[in-house]
């Protein structure tokens, strides 16, 4: 059983699109989608620097476009699809809930809305690696932080104000390693509430279809069979934690045997190697990875 997964913000690196543009038709596809999102996707994926593609309003459309373009190249028929954070829009398009154009229009609005919300107040995020999950969550709650991403495999990403983050660093949970993240703001926390409203207005113009394959939600890992419900969840998720641990638990329960992570792959397959033992994983980073992906599909 195959699951296609789409990574979230932070997976992008400078120049990650360069080798993919040698595939016939892919540059034309991205050029057309550039008009939809109002960004030069090819330039951002090839010559732009790390700071430029860290911009939320750029990173999100770039990631969804890259994931969808490479999914077309791969041509696999998944049994299950799921996306991490903004990757949920990629997953929605792959499942047929949204057209590609609808997904790109919504991700442009999402990126702009979250960038604006992040600029309204200084907030940040840090990764908590290791420790006992219950102790980590209790420590986050004690300092008023939100577990914005509960990723499983001993990884939780926390978001909040600089004061809250500093207090947490001074009083960390036992046996946990803390890594500050270079992000624009505390995504998937209450600090993104204004972005939810903008997303809700944009989503109101969309008439979604029901998913054609099994589609998982970041809210709780549930299988969502109603397209309108999924879009509603996707909107609310902007200001609520991503439960990727629950998504992986659902994959396990469904009997997933193979995971292919779309461009720029690596993050989600890395988590799966620790949390989904025995599942074959392939991360699409360069076109050279397509052979391994196609071999895994046999």
* CATH number of the domain bearing residue 217: 3.40.366.10
> Is 188 labeled as catalytic in the residue annotation?
yes
Residue with tokens 């750029």: 58
**Region of residue 194 (phi > 0: left; psi between -120 and 50: alpha; otherwise: beta):** alpha
Looking at the structure, tell me whether residues 105 and 228 fall in a common domain: yes
Domain assignment of residue 134, given as a range? 124-181
- The one-digit pLDDT tens for each residue of the chain (298 residues) are 999 999 999 999 999 999 999 999 999 999 999 999 999 999 999 999 999 999 999 999 999 999 999 999 999 999 999 999 999 999 999 999 999 999 999 999 999 999 999 999 999 999 999 999 999 999 999 999 999 999 999 999 999 999 999 999 999 999 999 999 988 899 999 999 999 999 999 999 999 999 999 999 999 999 999 999 999 999 999 999 999 999 999 999 999 999 999 999 999 999 999 999 999 999 999 999 999 999 999 8
Q: Are 216 and 250 in contact (CB under 8 A)?
A: yes
Examine the domain organization and report whether 58 and 199 are in the same domain.
yes
Q: Are residues 25 and 93 in the same domain?
A: yes
The verdict on 193 and 240 lying in the same domain is: yes
Cα–Cα distance, 180 to 199 (Å, whole number): 28
Q: Which of 181, 210, 227 is the last residue of a domain?
A: 181
Strands across the sheet containing 2-6: 214-215, 80-83, 2-6, 258-261, 280-283
Domain stops at, among 181, 204, 227: 181
Contact 182, 124 (CB under 8 A): no
In Å, how far from its chain's centre is CA 298? 27
If one counts the domains in the chain, the total is 2
Answer yes or no: do 106 and 242 share one domain: yes
Catalytic residue among 65, 188, 191, 217: 188
Q: Is 191 a catalytic residue?
A: no
Catalytic hit among 34, 65, 84, 85:
85
**Which of the 8 DSSP states describes residue 224?**
-
* Predicted TM-score of the model (pTM): 0.96
Q: What is the CATH number of the domain that holds 177?
A: 3.30.70.250
């Amino acid at each position: 059983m195959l699951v296609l997964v789409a990574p979230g913000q932070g997976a992008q690196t400078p120049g990650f699109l360069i080798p993919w543009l040698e595939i016939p038709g892919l540059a034309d596809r991205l050029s057309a989608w550039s008009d939809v999102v109002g960004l030069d996707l090819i330039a951002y994926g090839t010559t732009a620097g790390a700071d430029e593609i860290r911009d939320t309003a750029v990173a999100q459309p770039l990631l969804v476009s890259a994931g969808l373009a490479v999914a077309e190249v791969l041509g696999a028929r998944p049994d299950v699809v799921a996306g991490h954070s903004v990757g949920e829009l990629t997953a929605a398009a792959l499942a047929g809930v949204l057209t590609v154009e609808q997904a790109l229009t919504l991700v442009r609005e999402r990126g702009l809305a979250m960038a604006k919300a992040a600029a309204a107040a200084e907030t940040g995020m840090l990764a908590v690696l290791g420790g006992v999950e219950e102790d980590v969550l209790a420590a986050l709650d004690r300092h008023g932080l939100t577990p914005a991403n509960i990723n499983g495999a001993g990884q939780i990403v926390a978001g909040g104000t600089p004061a809250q983050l500093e207090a947490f660093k001074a009083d960390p949970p036992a046996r946990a390693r803390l890594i500050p993240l270079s992000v624009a703001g505390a995504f998937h926390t209450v600090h993104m509430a204004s972005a939810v409203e903008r997303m809700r207005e944009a989503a109101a113009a969309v008439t979604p279809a029901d998913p054609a394959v099994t589609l998982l939600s970041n809210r709780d890992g549930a299988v969502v069979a109603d397209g309108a419900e999924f879009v509603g969840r996707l909107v609310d998720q902007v200001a609520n934690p991503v439960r990727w641990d629950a998504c992986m638990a659902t994959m396990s329960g469904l009997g997933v045997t193979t995971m292919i992570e779309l461009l720029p792959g690596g993050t989600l397959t890395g988590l799966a190697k620790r949390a989904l033992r025995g599942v074959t994983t392939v991360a699409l980073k360069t076109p050279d990875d397509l052979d391994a992906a196609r071999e895994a599909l046999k």
